[in-house]
Amino acid sequence: MDTGGNSLPSGADGVKRKVCYFYDPEVGNYYYGQGHPMKPHRIRMTHALLAHYGLLQHMQVHKPFPARDKDLCRFHADDYVNFLRSITPETQQDLLRQLKRFNVGEDCPVFDGLYSFCQTYAGGSVGGAVKLNHGHDIAINWAGGLHHAKKCEASGFCYVNDIVLAILELLKQHERVLYVDIDIHHGDGVEEAFYTTDRVMTVSFHKFGDYFPGTGDIDDIGYGKGKYYSLNVPLDDGIDDESYHFLFEPIMKKVMEVFKPGAVVLQCGADSLSGDRLGCFNLSIRGHAQCVKYMRSFNVPLLLLGGGGYTIRNVARCWCYETGVALGVEIEDRMPQHEYYEYFGPEYTLHVAPSNMENKNSQLSLENIKSKLLDYLCKLQHAPSVQFQERPPETELPEADEDQEDPDERYDPDSDMDIDDERKTLPSRVKRELVETEPKDQEIQKGSAENAKGYDTTGDDATFTKFFVNNQYFQALDVGSVSIDEPSVKTEQETMNKPTDQMQL
């Protein structure tokens, strides 16, 4: 499957990029069920476009190695992973209690091959992270980006959180990892996982207000050591390219300046495009892809992932064009003939015009958002200093040979063991419980230790910090810390909005 990757000149900055791409030919066969908006077929359509535009020959193409149980358990609870592995459409009627407990059934249905699907999309993202750890500049997994999945709960069409797993892999090699999310929905699962650490900064641009998942208020900025390391950019209906980039570029420029990540993960959910079946933004494909172009311009190892996207012809258009951006190739608008050509009529072009819908984001609101977020970033004058304890051993793999065929070379069979052993020695591994006070209508109610009881965090590979706000528990991964010079972390109240019941990726 490997077609021999290479580097291409990237255009303006003239720097070459070594790009690898993960794709499993089976992925398009998974089917969430009749009428379900999430269609893995869109990944196969994207791949067909890449093939017919001649882009595959410029990248290393890999079939992902399926993520193993123990890979998934780096973030997810053992019992949740066991459940995903064992549930089938035939047995689900007997497991109603568990279905409810793990939020599986309706928006996140049980379907044939569910667990293999999870292993495939997570394997692509973790494999991409391993490639970046070993010298690739850009890794792409359009099947990944399922940002809503929680430690022990499916959510918003997502079952396992491949993004969290990929970031954990990157953290083996990099002190700091930046996560950027341009899906129309808040990247809540990733934010929660890293809410209390300064080693991962999350920045999510999303529709906010009466919209799934309900979190992502501008005032949610992280907690404890993670304070100011979660950023949320709440947007309203109809945002266009110009308004989006009025925020995206200055904010991301400042983030790159102050946080100085060793690697960047960009979730490219395409439900923020104009005309999406579930979305309400008005971005063009070029506007969406400008985010990729901009993040690429910093020349920091970059993992590009998919995510939402429900008007599937536009999803394929978008991710094909963005693959071109990753390679530094501008592809022509007229679409080549291919097996899904009929999906793209009547235009048969890559680009489609955005609509004339109203942009509800006023210039004043955009300016206020920008200045508030830049203020937060000013509190991080310096990147956290480099002293994370007992750095896990690097996964010493032979650098991928350009012609190498074996997709498994990404994995060092000893790697996980070593890392697990090493992590046990981290002082921060001690389980601790953190019961945050609960801000509610300006009235502070103490969360009690009793509230926290019964929340089982045992038996997992990872350790978690719990925090309790708005009558809800949240759990963040314990990934150590890189202490910051600034005494900016204080005991201020941070709030998180209560998620709503709507379900969309």
Nearer to Zn ion, 190 or 505 (CB): 505
Minimal distance, residue 438 CB to Zn ion, in Å: 28
Residues found near Zn ion in the complex (CB under 5 A): 183, 185, 269, 271, 308, 505
Q: Are 59 and 161 in contact (CB under 8 A)?
A: no
Amino acid letter, 197: T
Instruction: Give the pairing of strands 230-235 and 200-207.
Output: parallel
Write out the H or E segment, with its range, that includes residue 180. strand 177-181
Nearest-approach distance from CB 271 to Zn ion, in angstroms: 4
271 or 436: CB nearest Zn ion: 271
Q: Does the active-site annotation cover 148?
A: yes
Contact 373, 251 (CB under 8 A): yes
Rounded CA gap, 397 and 410, in Å?
7
Q: Contact 380/486 with Cβ under 8 angstroms?
A: yes
Q: Which is nearer to Zn ion, 107 or 183 (CB)?
A: 183
Instruction: Find the shortest distance in angstroms from Cβ 385 to Zn ion.
Output: 35
Between 169 and 183, CB nearer to Zn ion: 183
- Residue 130 backbone phi and psi in degrees, to 5: -60, -40
Residue nearest to Zn ion (CB): 308
**Whole-angstrom distance, CA of residue 30 vs CA of residue 148:** 19
Which residue from 150, 136, 126, 124 is spatially nearest to 62, judged by alpha carbons?
A: 124
What is the Cα–Cα distance from 221 to 226, expressed in whole angstroms?
8
Q: Which is nearer to Zn ion, 122 or 462 (CB)?
A: 122
Residue list, annotated binding site: 107, 156, 183, 185, 271, 310
Helix or strand (DSSP H, E) at 372: helix 363-378
Catalytic one among 58, 62, 147, 148?
148
Nearer to Zn ion, 137 or 183 (CB): 183
| Smallest separation, CB 317 to Zn ion (Å) | 17
Using H for helix, E for strand and C for coil, what is the string for 299-333? CCCEEEECCCCCCHHHHHHHHHHHHHHHHCCCCCC
- Three-class SS string for 486-497? CCCCCCCCCCCC
Nearer to Zn ion, 211 or 411 (CB): 211
Cα distance between the two ends of the chain? 31
Residues ≥6 apart with Cβ < 8 Å to 493 = 437, 439, 444
How far is the C-alpha of 137 from the C-alpha of 17, rounded, in Å? 5
Q: Give the C-alpha distances (Å, rounded to integers) separating 487 from 94, 165, 225, 384, 404.
A: 53, 30, 10, 11, 49
- State the nearest-atom distance from the C-beta of 307 to Zn ion, in Å: 6
As given in the structure block, the two tokens for residue 483 are 């202490």
Q: How far is the CB of 166 from Zn ion (least distance, A)?
A: 18
Query: Shortest gap between Cβ of 218 and Zn ion (angstroms)?
Result: 19
Contact 191, 215 (CB under 8 A): yes
Annotated catalytic sites, by residue? Answer: 148
